[in-house]
Structure 1
Amino acid sequence: MGCCGDEENDDDILNPLSPNSTTTQSVDSSDDDSTISPMNSHFSALACRDTLRLIFEKLPIPDLACASCVCRAWNSVASDQEIVAKSFKSPWKLKHVIGKPASGSFWRDNSLAKFAISHRIARGDSVASLAVKYSVQVMDIKRLNNMMSEHGIYSRERLLIPISNPEMLVEATCYVEVDPCAKREVAVLYLEDGPDHKAISSSSDSSLQNNGGSGSSSSSNSELGKKRVVESLRRSMHVDDATALYYLSIADGDPRAALSQFSQDLRWETHSALA
């Protein structure tokens, strides 16, 4: 029964859709086609390497890592060294990052803890004085440099100092290095001089090794014996390798004298702390 009392024609239910409804359906289908997906032609725009480079260069490190997992085409672009380095530098406005990391995972973390200042050890330096100079905590310096005792500072050429002020990185140049004492890979900032002196020292060391000739076997045996002594001192003193090596050097290679000097220094530190 219709609203006006007329009988409703049941055949209308079986009639085809009206033109208006057909138009609406076609509009909806056209809207679905405009969606970018692998099922339509619009997806080809995101397979172009030039387009991907323009997009990926603006992504932060976490988003760039996610993009590399989408497909092989995206992975090849997102893994490009130039794009990864640019994303690594972007948050801190770095000018250059020089060096190739030993591990590909280096680029995954570009937090402030990934950077450090290189401080060349000078006479009179101490961990406490450096902490005051660079406005950082003593424990942060020890942790970054893998130090168990402050005595380890005297057996090193430099210390890595955590960066407390991000403004120091603006328009700066950092060098990707693996510090042998700290046993970690960081982006190093040189405030005074560059790392050129390290290349000179390494080249001179290699030339000395090449000129060693027949004495290489005897030197290797002496080095092995020295390592065993250092290992024994490290266990006895409960310190790191650098500290044990320092006390062995000032004791002219005598382990007993090294232990005696270390005990004297410990007593002096304890007395100074109680005073």
Structure 2
Amino acid sequence: PALSEIEKKSGVPATTMLAIWGRETDYGRYTLPYDLVRVLATQAYVGRRKDTYRNEFILSLKILGEGVVTRKDMRSSWAGATGLTQFLPSEYYKHGVDFDGDGRIDIWHSVPDALASAAQQLVNKGWQSGVRWAYEVQAPAKVDCTSGVPEVTKPIGQWLREGFVPVRGEKLSAAEQAQPASLLQPEGIYGPSFLTTKNYFVIKEYNFSDLYVLFVGHLGDRMTSPLPFATQWAASKQLRTKDVETMQRGLTRVGLYKDKIDGKAGMQTRAALGAYQKSAGLKVDCWPSEEVLRSIQAAR
């Protein structure tokens, strides 16, 4: 009943809330390993975002001072996220909801409070009710994988006219086809392809990892339809983080990449790799391979 009421009030599907809860703490079965206050103090002192974490540290003390949770129960991840659905203290104050009506926002023990707070965070970040997070599609054989960035957005109907086909013969309504979407190919041209809606990027604001959003979106879908992705992952070899960082520096040097050097082959990195492959006369697959790494290193 609580899930249904949260969905009714927020417009966020119950399956999405459950998927976030499952991903974050295994539906509350996973005990977070660290003491939140110590984590935030450490991050504020030696971390890369000291000012941000000083504020989070102060807010964690405010939470303790209000008596909602004991320090013993205020466990966290290495990055300072706490509670059943993993909030930073600032997010607790921005998005927390007392859904069970006991006068406290308790995301550590109250499942209704935690799930309603997760839904409220998505709403506050722009969740659009009635819009799916993504559509899996078969990409055309000559797909330009460099267009797989958030800045390239077209109505889903236009993507379909360009040769993208919904998997398993799914027919999309006129309203769905009017929805703006971006192309996502997390394994370059080799694995599944998706047309991602605004809600994809709302979940991504909850956690910036594309794989996190794919996990949450897909788990939520499988709660109502147990089908896996229609296109299997190709099990492409993944380069080490430091090798991807080398690629990113090389792509930055030649003006193709302007994002952060983090060793993660995200949307912007894959698109920049594809642009480099075009310029170097290599196969354009938007995937960080050893061949591309050697080419970038030789081009210094």
TM-score under structure 1 normalisation?
Answer: 0.34
Q: Decide which structure has greater helix share.
A: 1
Report the structure number with the largest CA radius of gyration: 1
